[in-house]
Amino acid sequence: MHLKRLLVLVLFVSPLVASAEPAPWYWWVSKLDSARVCWQTSPGSGWYRAGGPYKNSRCRNDQVR
């Protein structure tokens, strides 16, 4: 009986744990020529993060219409 209750509890709780959000986006600026890119992760050691976090790949927090 306890095993059934535990199984039901795990089945109901697991979707809550498994839900995840996408990674945020950031503006990255080149130390070499000041070029800017919008990426989720650092392009490399020659770049620094200049802005963010943002919700989309345009590095804007626009609402979807």
Each residue's pLDDT tens digit, 1-54: 788 888 887 787 776 666 678 899 999 999 999 999 999 999 999 999 999 999
* pLDDT score, position 2: 83
Q: CA torsion, points 40, 41, 45, 48, in degrees to nearest 10?
A: 40
* pLDDT score, position 10: 79
* pLDDT score, position 17: 60
**Model confidence band, residue 65 (pLDDT cutoffs 50, 70, 90):** very low
Longest dimension (CA), the chain: 67
pTM higher than 0.75, yes or no? no
